[in-house]
Structures are given as structure tokens and as C-alpha cells.
Structure 1
Amino acid sequence: MREASRAAEPAEAARAFEAAGARAAAEPDRAAESGRAPESGRAAGGPRAARPQAAPRFPGGPSPDPAGSHHERRIRSFQPRRSRVTTSQGDALRRLWPVWGLDIDGLRTLDLGELFGDGQKRSDKPVVLEIGFGMGEATARMAAADPDTGILAVDVHTPGQGNLLGLAERNGLTNVRVANGDAIILLREMLPPASLDGLRVYFPDPWPKPRHHKRRLIQPDFLTLAAPSLKPGAILHCATDWEPYAEQMLEVLTAHPDFENTQPDGGYAPRPDFRPHTRFEGQGLRKGHVVHDLLFRRVARPGATDARPGATAPEA
């Protein structure tokens, strides 16, 4: 998924909101001073009436804010995109979300055997986590090619969620589960230790401006957070068409003690056959970009624990 890169800093937005509130509290009501009538439904100097809550677009479908206010604000590596949901995508969300969908609320620990089971029998499939799947076409192709592996696919893009659910139904893919929300919360609070057989991050937002580099997902803090959920030997597979981001990925992965490069020369890997070409990959290739794959293996360190660190990684 290419995550939108035009979001304002959360801290800046919070400071601006607080400053606006302070100004409003310190200044007298200007409508009262000028003699103008107050806005309908609000007395001069009184609080603005709360707007009624809008009805959910897809009752029983993905929540607009699954983790809610019980999780702190952090620097985000993504920004939810507002896009039109087609009729077929909306239908898939309404019908299939209760069956194959998952809101990342941070309130429980997942049982992946139960999640990928059929309601009567637990699954013993290996499970890989994919962070950012866009419209889901590549995810569906990987699921079809390897039906004995479960794919837990995370994204915040509602049309993509509906599209992937529809693809799974039309192609009989019972090994896909679609998760909605922040992958950091999923990794930090909802996945048991050593529960994943792989982690895939394909074409994340490169955040090209230097002041936005802190928003990039693949950073040391993220790797430290993700490592406990990965079984020893699990593969972390990243791909990007943005050269500076590829260099950063290679640098931080090489330096991290929980991962080792699968390539003897310590460099980039050839694209493995199981990774299909994606839309964003095609866009990059048409621009003359070079696509880099990175394949790193989770290593077990003597004396290391599965305790997760504090929440210093960006949201994803």
C-alpha cells in the first residue's frame, strides 16, 4: 500500500487545536460584543452544540476508529484515505466483514488458530502478516498460490478492504483475514509471541521529504517491536521502488540484532516468485525506478525475551 504522505504532524495539529481553544476561552464572544445574533441553537458566549453522530457507513463492518481514544497519539506512517466505495465493495464489507474481518482494537490477544479456523475446527496453518495491501490483488494472488498459509492482511483503506474480501469470496480463498486499523497496536498488544511465520511490507509510503523520514515504517523501533511476534526463522520481506528508502531499510535491518540477511553478499534479494507484481511497483517501473526486495530472517538471541518495548514506533 502506498500510504498518503500529505498528513499534518499529529503533534502540530494538537498544539494548534489547544491554542485555538485557549484563544476562544480568553477572548469575549465577538458576536455578543458586536450585537450580532448568535448562531442558531447557541446562546451568546455559550458552548457550541455537539453535532449528532453520523450513522456508520457499514453497520457490522470495519470501525472508523477501532482502537478509539484509549491509545495514545503517535507519529503515524499512514493517513487513512477517503475514497469512493463501489457497490460491490460495500456489499462485500456488509456481508463478509463479520466472517473474515477484524478490527484492531488493542483489547484482546488473538488466537490465530481460532481466527483462521472454520468456526468448528482450529487451523494449524502457518500465518504471515502483510502490512498495507492496497486494493488486495497481490494479496489474493499470493493466497491462491499458497492455500496452506494464512494471510493476515492489515490496511486502513476501506475500498481496498472491501475489494480484498470480494476477491477472497469469488476465488474461494478461505486463508485470508482482513484487519482494519493500526498494525503497531496489533503487533504490540494483540499478537502472541512467536505466532507469525512471516511479515510482508510491500511498497510502504517512502515519505521522501527529509522532515517526514521519521514517519517511515521500517525503522529500528519498529523492528524491535515486530521481532517478538515472529518465530525464529520467520522471514521479513520488504520491497520498495524508492532508492533512498531501500538503502535505509538495508541499513537498519543489517544493524538490527534480531534479523540476518538471507543474501550471502549482504545486499538486496531477487524478487521471489511468490511475490506478484503490484500496482505501485508498476507505477515505479514506468517512472524508471528500480525495485528492491529485502529478505531478512528472524534470529533467536540467547537470553533475549519476548517482552515488547514501549510504544515508540510510528503507527502503521
Structure 2
Amino acid sequence: MTDPQQPSEESPITTRRGIRSFVLRQGRMTVGQKSAYERSWPKFGLTREQGVIDPREVFGREAMLNLEIGFGMGKSLAEMAAAAPEQDFIGVEVHLPGVGALLKEIEDRGLENIRIYAIDANDVIDLCLPDAALDRVMVFFPDPWHKKRHHKRRLVQHEFIQRIRHKLRVGGICHLATDWEPYAEHMMAVMADSEGFANTVAGHEFAPRPDDRPVTKFEQRGERLGHGVWDLLFRRTN
């Protein structure tokens, strides 16, 4: 396994062609984020070029393994990792200011149980993770792509969920959350029709927010404005 290198033009965000679920936003890292990135990426960063990882080698132990896709600025992921030091967490985010922000959180909190990919989650799934390695996959508040003509860009689709299934162990959890009701309904339809998954609550009901999913500032603001949040927890059955 090669040493992680910082992302560069020679290491593109994605190797996949076709429709993407993300658009790279413009934005520079703050001085603090950039400094944390330069100091800590070599230790906490993972790259596509390393190939399929062995989580036991990456973390130096065998533990419950969580994957968060699209961690944004990383505060919620850092909170989860700090609250569960006995578990390991891999975060995926294509926006480098978010990567820098999470690395700063890791430094400030003294965390050792997080590793980061700064590439397309599809490449992480297809090229970097062994089958049945994950105990939980989390996708919180992905871009809902509101306009109908953009629905094809939504990350949560049947094909994506089936590829996730193979990376989860049997009994592992796929946890989705959104604050956009039409996307919540779309997610429920996709999950309910997905082979090898069963809802952890009855029928097509949404789940209560688990205590271990932190409430974000954005979510708190939405709740004050009367906006809803929908959680889906589905277990891999086979």
C-alpha cells in the first residue's frame, strides 16, 4: 500500500463517465483549513491509487466500520467519531474546504478513528472498499436536485444502492436522511424496491432520528422554520 498523496490534477476527482451527482463548487480553504490539510492529510487521507484497502491495516485494529458519503464541512462526522471512539469512520467528500475543515476538527479533538477520501464516492465504492467490509453507510442531506430534469443526478438510485449493498455486511445498515420531502419519498421508493434490504421500521414508514446522528445547525434552523427531516434506516438482509 502506497503512502497517501494529496489530491492533484493527476489524480482526478472521479474516473466515472456520464452523469454526476455533484458539481464542484468554487471556494478556497481558510488559512486554518489549509494548514490542517497540509499537516494531517498524509496521516488521515486515503487515495484511489492505494487500491482496495484492508480496514484493519488502515486503522490498526478490527472495529465497527462506518462510511459517510458527502460529509460537508465534517462537523457531524467528527462528533460521531468523538462519541464512539471504539468505532472507525471513513468519510468521503469532493469539496476540499470541507476536507480541510474535517482535518482541523480531527486535530482539535485529537481523533484517531477517521480516514478521508477526497474523490467521487462511486470510485471509493468500486475501487477502494472490499465487499462486506462496512457495518453502516450514511448519506445525510445529499443534494436533492429539485428540478425534475435533474432527478437523474440524484445520488440515491437503484444501481447505487445495490453497489452499496455489496460493501455492507449482512445485517449492516444503510442510513439516509433528507430535509426535502419529495426526495424522502424518492429514497423510500428506491429502498423499498431494492433487493436485499429491509426497513428497520414497519412498512414504508420513516424512522425516528437515531441518537447517534447529530443534529446540524442547518437542520436546527430548518426545524425552527417548520421544515421536516426524514430518516430511513434499512438493513441488508442478504
**Does the Cα contact within 8 Å between 1:62 and 1:101 map onto a contact in 2?**
no
Does 1:134 pair with 2:72?
yes
**Corresponding residue of 2:58:** 115
**Corresponding residue of 1:166:** 104
**Amino acid of the structure 2 residue aligned with 1:179:** Y
Distance 1:279 1:104 in 2: 32
Superposition pairs of residues 142-181 of structure 1, within 5 angstroms: 142-181=80-119
Does 1:78 pair with 2:22?
yes
**Corresponding residue of 1:97:** 41
Superposition pairs of residues 109-258 of structure 1, within 5 angstroms: 109-117=52-60, 123-258=61-196
CA displacement, residues 103-148 of structure 1 (integer Å, 9 cap, x when unaligned): 234x61111111112xxxxx11121110011111111110011011
Unaligned runs of at least 5 residues, structure 1: 1-59, 118-122, 301-316
Does 1:61 pair with 2:12?
no
Pick closer, same or farther for the CA change 1:128–1:86 going to 2, 3 Å: same
Distance 1:297 1:156 in 2: 27
Q: Secondary structure at the match of 1:227?
A: helix
**Does the Cα contact within 8 Å between 1:104 and 1:180 map onto a contact in 2?**
no
Distance 2:117 2:7 in 1: 8
Q: Secondary structure at the match of 2:23?
A: coil
**Does the Cα contact within 8 Å between 1:197 and 1:235 map onto a contact in 2?**
yes
| Pair member with larger Rg | 1
Distance 1:233 1:72 in 2: 29
Identity of aligned residues (%): 47
Pick closer, same or farther for the CA change 1:217–1:236 going to 2, 3 Å: same
Task: Give the Å deviation of 1:282.
Answer: 3.2
Task: Give the Å deviation of 1:79.
Answer: 1.1
Task: Give the Å deviation of 1:283.
Answer: 4.4
**Amino acid of the structure 1 residue aligned with 2:160:** F
**Amino acid of the structure 2 residue aligned with 1:61:** Q
Aligned CA-pair RMSD? 1.6
Q: Secondary structure at the match of 2:160?
A: helix
Distance 1:264 1:250 in 2: 12
- TM-score (norm: length of structure 2): 0.93
1:271 corresponds, among 209, 212, 215, to 209
CA displacement, residues 74-125 of structure 1 (integer Å, 9 cap, x when unaligned): 20001122212111111111110000011234x61111111112xxxxx111
- TM-score (norm: length of structure 1): 0.71
Distance 1:143 1:77 in 2: 26
